[in-house]
Structure 1
Amino acid sequence: MSFQIRKAKILGLLEQAGGAVDVRQLAASLDLSDMTVRRDLNALAEQGLIIRTHGGAMLPGLADRPVSFAGKSAQQHEAKEQIARRAAAEIVDGDVIFMDCGSTVFALCPYIRQKRITVITNSLPVVAELMRSNVTLNLVGGEVDKERQAVHGLTAESHIARYRADKAFVGVDGVSVANGLSANGEKEATLTLALMRQAAHTYLLCDASKLGQDRYLQFAPLSVVEVLVTDPAAPDEVVQAFVDAGVRVIR
């Protein structure tokens, strides 16, 4: 069976199942191995046709998220899953944590659902994903960015300033030893700074493609980050540069 035929069948089964299925369901229905199904789902996610979830997939419309967020969630999916698993291991019952609106941070959700923690976030997808879980949720108030599906603005910053967290989990568009953290716009950079200011420890979740990269707006020095969680694809020499700069690196 060619990939194009499998693709059509997978999308058809997603529609029939109400928009969400797991790998085992697809493998049984299509008489394929789990490995083949996972590979096909990753390919469909890269095309923006589905959103990969923990153990399966969903149609973008099911989560009522815009194409832009779905597309970002699909990019570097395997790397984000690896990063999320390692980062989640740093979270223990009783923690109060900040989670920003990045797609890598969003990937934490399946791994923290059973933890008895408090999550403070400006991300609507994070709230939707954790609504029926053991997690206590605190949604930041303010103006909603419909495309980003996140809350931003002065009111949001004021809200964040009222709270303290044990750990902040944030993402950036680029990070380098020389120039620190950078973003593609001021809106996200401002919220990231607000979260980091109120946290005892800051974890930067960043796939290998963003390491050593400087983007449009450089908004914070590397010293604000205590822990960098990245994926195994990160080159040893790049990782060592961050270690030499005093950052703990998990990959």
Structure 2
Amino acid sequence: MNFQLRKQKILALLAAQGEVDTRELAATLDISEITIRRDLNQLSDDGLLYRTHGGAIPVDQPENPYEFVNKTAANAAAKDKICRKAAAQINDGDIIFMDCGSTVFRLCQYIKNKKIKVITNSLPVIFELQHSQVSLNIIGGEYDAARQAIHGTIAGEHIQRYKAGKAFIGVDGISAQGLFAHSEKEAAIAMALATQSDYTYLLCDAGKIGRTSYLNFAGLELVNALITDADPADLKFCKKKNVKVITA
């Protein structure tokens, strides 16, 4: 049984029982107590539970009232691998931008225990992080109900008032021709965040490599690093543009 499957079972038991015991988990999942302790420590580091002596209890979070329609569950395992790598780039004290992409949203679960400031246009990100160690700044502007995000001219002006050390953005496609988006509004936000950041990370699963879409909104030079689960052999065009590739 791999970690992702064990993670689902552990969190399901935790939700059902209100607490879990290391020995009982080991017996239920038919694995060693050493493995269970390692799993619980990892889930605690990711902000998904609290460790106790001999087990764990759930993080007290209200039910999410938002239906995030950006297919956050699609390619979940790949996106989680990417986001775990992305979280490793973030340190206590950092100020970061996060856009409204579905992969970027999944980064939330790995940064809840970090003492950082997040500036974002995504309402699901705000909701997911509101009861965590993270300090939040919501970008103002026109609300896009379909994307549950803030866009528009005022949003761009808001972003220009801030400077972040790191930005984490998503796209609908990336190729040797540059970055692609389905929406001019989302492209404008991505460009604004990257412009106001010292270092920009693009989070992108393998399915978007080589894909083009409606709008070619920027060259590869917009980003400093690509975090992806794609085959490095398919990413030679990134290295030609001095984009660092971090493989998940």
Normalising to structure 1: TM-score of the pair?
A: 0.75
Q: 2:191 aligns with which of 190, 193, 208?
A: 193
Q: Deviations over 1:154-181 (max 9, x none)?
A: 111111010000011000000112x110
Q: Matches of 1:161 and 1:225 in 2, distance apart?
A: 18
Q: Does 1:22 align with 2:17?
A: no
Question: Is the 8 Å Cα contact of residues 23 and 34 (structure 1) preserved in structure 2?
Answer: no
Q: Deviations over 1:159-213 (max 9, x none)?
A: 1010000011000000112x11000111111111111110011100000000111
Matches within 5 A, 1:123-134: 123-134=122-133
Q: Report what 2:243 is aligned to.
A: 247
Q: Could you tell me how far 1:130 is from its partner in structure 2?
A: 0.6
Q: Report what 1:6 is aligned to.
A: none
Q: Matches of 1:208 and 1:245 in 2, distance apart?
A: 19
Amino acid in structure 2 at the alignment position of 1:66: E
Q: Matches of 2:30 and 2:183 in 1, distance apart?
A: 40
Question: Is the 8 Å Cα contact of residues 68 and 147 (structure 2) preserved in structure 1?
Answer: no
Q: Report what 2:231 is aligned to.
A: 235
Task: Quote the RMSD (CA, aligned, Å).
Answer: 2.5
Amino acid in structure 2 at the alignment position of 1:81: D
Q: Could you tell me how far 1:237 is from its partner in structure 2?
A: 1.6
3-state DSSP of counterpart to 1:175:
strand
Q: Matches of 1:67 and 1:32 in 2, distance apart?
A: 33
3-state DSSP of counterpart to 1:166:
strand
Q: Deviations over 1:6-59 (max 9, x none)?
A: xxxxxxxxxxxxxxx92334799xx97599xxxxxxxxxxxxxxxxx968xxxx
Q: Mark the CA change 1:22 to 1:222 in structure 2 (over 3 Å): closer, same or farther.
A: same
Q: Does 1:220 align with 2:218?
A: yes
Q: Matches of 2:228 and 2:120 in 1, distance apart?
A: 21
3-state DSSP of counterpart to 1:200:
strand
Question: Is the 8 Å Cα contact of residues 68 and 124 (structure 2) preserved in structure 1?
Answer: no
Structure 1 spans left out of the alignment, 5+ residues: 1-20, 36-52, 56-61
Q: Report what 2:113 is aligned to.
A: 114
3-state DSSP of counterpart to 1:116:
coil
Question: Is the 8 Å Cα contact of residues 203 and 226 (structure 2) preserved in structure 1?
Answer: yes
Question: Is the 8 Å Cα contact of residues 206 and 230 (structure 1) preserved in structure 2?
Answer: yes
- Runs of 4+ off more than 3 Å: 23-28, 31-35
Q: Matches of 2:48 and 2:106 in 1, distance apart?
A: 9
Question: Is the 8 Å Cα contact of residues 98 and 195 (structure 1) preserved in structure 2?
Answer: yes
Q: Report what 1:7 is aligned to.
A: none
Q: Report what 1:88 is aligned to.
A: 87
Amino acid in structure 2 at the alignment position of 1:229: I
Identity of aligned residues (%): 49
Q: Mark the CA change 1:130 to 1:34 in structure 2 (over 3 Å): closer, same or farther.
A: farther
Q: Could you tell me how far 1:114 is from its partner in structure 2?
A: 1.1
Question: Is the 8 Å Cα contact of residues 95 and 118 (structure 1) preserved in structure 2?
Answer: yes
Q: Matches of 1:158 and 1:236 in 2, distance apart?
A: 37
Q: Report what 2:66 is aligned to.
A: 65
Q: Mark the CA change 1:144 to 1:220 in structure 2 (over 3 Å): closer, same or farther.
A: same
Q: Report what 1:4 is aligned to.
A: none
Q: Mark the CA change 1:223 to 1:132 in structure 2 (over 3 Å): closer, same or farther.
A: same
Question: Is the 8 Å Cα contact of residues 24 and 34 (structure 1) preserved in structure 2?
Answer: no
Q: 2:208 aligns with which of 207, 210, 213?
A: 210
Q: Matches of 1:54 and 1:81 in 2, distance apart?
A: 13
Q: Report what 1:143 is aligned to.
A: 142
Q: Matches of 1:120 and 1:247 in 2, distance apart?
A: 24
Q: Matches of 2:113 and 2:69 in 1, distance apart?
A: 29
